[in-house]
Chain A
């Protein structure tokens, strides 16, 4: 399977706990994006990496959120001290800088904070 993969697919946690999600992009893609999608809404941009450099962060990305892409391949998104409002689907996408720069999405990680 050469698509974008995300783990875990589902996560249930208690308020105040930390969670970490992983994204493995398509292998030749150097660009990686994180989005958040809440019920009934379209995805909203969180952050963007080109190789290992985090080049853009949305104002949605509060100081409880941190994302890394240490070797320019997989990325992790960590949420510290989770709140009920963090419950959402977290989507990862990757793209190549060539051509249409189309972003290909993974299946998402659904987070439920109790």
Chain B
């Protein structure tokens, strides 16, 4: 079955860059997604990348995709305290319509 793995915790100082990593199993995923979840809230879509791309940049966010290693990363430049949240990567599996999520990485930004 599909397995999406993420490290559980990341702490960075305000103003530094954060890099959140994810590995996935389904090499035929068409899109890969990053969502942000604040305490007690639903999931907010941050960005997504099409599988034939290596990189996508959107303001402070940079997504890197290494299809050979099935590795996805999210870099947040100039991390702010408001970026403290749980970040989930997700993939769609072959023939499925639903998303498969990792366990999430809790990002803590230290002022």
Q: Which residues of A contact B (CB under 8 A)?
A: 4, 6, 31, 33, 35, 40-45, 48, 50, 55-56, 58, 91, 93, 100-108, 110
Contacts and interface: CB of A to CB of B under 8 A. Distances in A.
A13 B105 CA distance: 31
A40 B99 contact: no
Contact of B40 (A43, A48, A104, A110): A110
Contact of B98 (A6, A56, A104, A108): A56
Nearest to B99: A103
A91 B48 contact: no
Given A42-B101, A42-B103, A106 B42 contact: yes
Given A56-B96, A56-B98, A102-B33, A43 B43 contact: yes
Nearest to B41: A107
Contacts of B101: 42-44
A31 B48 CA distance: 19
A108 B97 contact: no
B104 A42 contact: yes
Nearest to B101: A42
Given A100-B50, A102-B48, A56 B97 contact: yes
Contact of B31 (A41, A42, A43, A101): A101
B40 A40 contact: no
A4 to B, nearest CB: 8
A42 B92 CA distance: 14
B103 A41 contact: yes
Given A91-B43, A100-B48, A104-B45, A42 B98 contact: no
B44 interface: yes
A78 to B, nearest CB: 20
